[in-house]
Amino acid sequence: MKKIKRLIAFLLIFAIFAFVAKTVIYSVFPIYYREYIEKCSEEYGLSPHLVMGVIYAESRFDNEAHSGVAHGLMQLTDETAEWSAKKVGLEGKIDLEEPETNIRLGCYYLSYLIEQFGELDTALAAYNAGMGNVSKWLSSEEFSADGKKLQNIPYAETDRYVRKVKKFTEIYKKLYK
């Protein structure tokens, strides 16, 4: 009887621990604006988990985030947002702190980069460091053996960014199937 009571106590403690751990994990990797993410991901042929990974890396889902010249959830510059808005047919003043607008423009731009560069890591590097820098790197044998894929990213920040987005994408894929 003591063994059964111990087993029940152990299982109860384990269940409580598992619940608390799961709650903590979901609070560390939240998902907000899921409807917009899923809608825009589908519209531009992206994995919603990738978009969640980019948003988490860029702003931790803070729609008011600013980092120098970039704004909002997906940290778009005004120039990139204006260019993307023209491509998707958005007219008028663009509010990059408005989640739906930011996600839509960010998803369009990310899908454009993937199409341009044909490879996710290279597209993510361009999202972070700019298309011009990545194009230069691709034309250098020091960074690309084939001119299509980066073997070496010369900016440490961009290299870390690509790895973080991929890691966060996998986490979101496991948490939010």
> What span, in angstroms and rounded, lies between the C-alpha atoms of 36 and 104?
8
Whole-number pLDDT of residue 33 = 98
pLDDT digits (tens, 9 = 90+) for 121-165: 999 999 999 999 999 999 999 999 999 999 999 999 999 999 999
Catalytic-residue membership of 58:
yes
**Bridging pattern class, strands 76-77 and 70-71:** antiparallel
Q: Is the pLDDT score of 6 beyond 90?
A: no
Catalytic residue, from 35, 38, 43, 58: name it: 58
pTM assigned to the model? 0.90
- Across the range 60-86, mean pLDDT stands at 96
Q: Is the pLDDT score of 168 beyond 70?
A: yes
How does the average pLDDT of the chain come out, rounded?
Answer: 93
Whole-number pLDDT of residue 84 = 98
Whole-number pLDDT of residue 18 = 61
pLDDT digits (tens, 9 = 90+) for 98-128: 999 999 999 999 999 999 999 999 999 999 9
Residues in the chain: 177
Whole-number pLDDT of residue 20 = 66
Q: Are 59 and 73 in contact (CB under 8 A)?
A: yes
Q: Which residue has the higher pLDDT, 165 or 91?
A: 165
